[in-house]
Structure formats: C-alpha cells, structure tokens
Amino acid sequence: MASIIKANQLQDFGGNSILTSDGAGVVTPNASGIKNTPAFHVNSASTSLSNNTHTTILYPTVDRDTASLYNTSTGKFTVTDSTTGYYYFYAAMGTAAITAARIQISFMKNGTDSGDRKLTCETQSDSSGYPAPNVVGVIPMLTSGDFVMVQGYQNSGGTIALSGELNKNFFGAYRTIGA
C-alpha cells in the first residue's frame, strides 16, 4: 500500500517556503523557491559577418533579462556570485542571401575556442542561397565572472549581413534546476 503525504507548504532546511499549494491542486513556487532564473532572451542581430572571420554577434533587442546579465554592447551574458550554476543556452543566426560553403554559429565561454569552452553548429548553404538559421544548446557550469557569447562565421568570399528577423536571430539562456 502506498503512503500519501499531505501538505500545503514545502520548506527547505532553513525554513524557507519553496512550494505552496492552494488545496485544490495548484502548486506555486515561492519567490525563493524553484525557478529557472536568471533567464534572458535577446534578438534582432545587428552584425555583419566578414569572410573567413569569427565575429561576435550582438543582439540589441532585449525581450527579457531577469537579472540584467546580458550586455547589448558586448554580446556577453556574464554570471555573478549569486547566479552561479548550470545553464541551458540557445541561439540562432539567420543570414541574408549567401552562397557560402560554410555557415557556423558557436557559443564561446570566456572568449576561448578550446576544449569544452566552445560548441559549434555548422551547415552548408541550401540551393536557394538562404541557409536556415542555426540553433545550438549547451549546459556548462558557470561561476562568477564567466561569460558566454555567440560568434558567427561564413566563407562566402565577402561580407554578409544577418537578416535582422526576430525569428531567425536570437540568443538566450536560463539556469537549470536540479543540476
């Protein structure tokens, strides 16, 4: 026979309320409770990609940034002491018409491209000359001062602009719980 535990509130060992139930089956995380924050989502890339060059992509439009950790001038998401943790990152990069053989989007942790500090997604341009946006994700452990930024690369033979379309150019993350 299974045991049933009934409670209206779940607290941590410090006595802080984590979850509260209304008694009708609706459970609500409390302010200090279980949340996937900080979280941010930015979009509308305003960067041109030079030929054969890894370029940091700037996303100037902030849709949300719960802890003000994304810098629109540098393109960096930087973690503080109170926001250390594991994060799920996602990004997309859509270009204007291009005939490049290679299109890449990469996450760069702390500005380096060695070992586990870089994750890249690469595609070939399709027959229409409009490559599909690239989306990548990673969950690195970030501690105070660590930052993540997105870089794009292409080899079309000239400079190309990103499309600026919100649904093709975006960058975001949220801290995971339970990791």
pLDDT value, residue 144: 94
pLDDT value, residue 116: 53
- Among 12-16, 83-87, 93-97, top mean pLDDT goes to 83-87
Architecture in CATH of 35-175: Sandwich (2.60)
pTM: 0.76
Q: Are strands 147-154 and 170-175 parallel, antiparallel or unpaired?
A: unpaired
Identify the DSSP state of 145: T
> Which amino acid type is present at position 62?
V
Helix and strand numbers, DSSP H then E, in the chain: 0, 17
Those residues with Cβ within 8 angstroms of residue 102's Cβ, 6 or more apart along the chain or in another chain: 122, 124, 153, 154, 155
Percentage of the chain beyond pLDDT 70 is 76
**Spans of all domains in the chain:** 1-34, 35-175
Which one, of 66, 40, 36, 34, lies nearest residue 148 by Cα? 40
Average pLDDT, the chain: 81
Q: Where are the beta strands (DSSP E) in 27-166?
A: 27-29, 39-43, 48-49, 55-56, 61-65, 70-71, 76-78, 85-93, 103-109, 118-123, 134-138, 141-142, 147-154, 160-161
Those residues with Cβ within 8 angstroms of residue 86's Cβ, 6 or more apart along the chain or in another chain: 139, 140, 141, 142, 175, 176, 179
pLDDT value, residue 178: 61
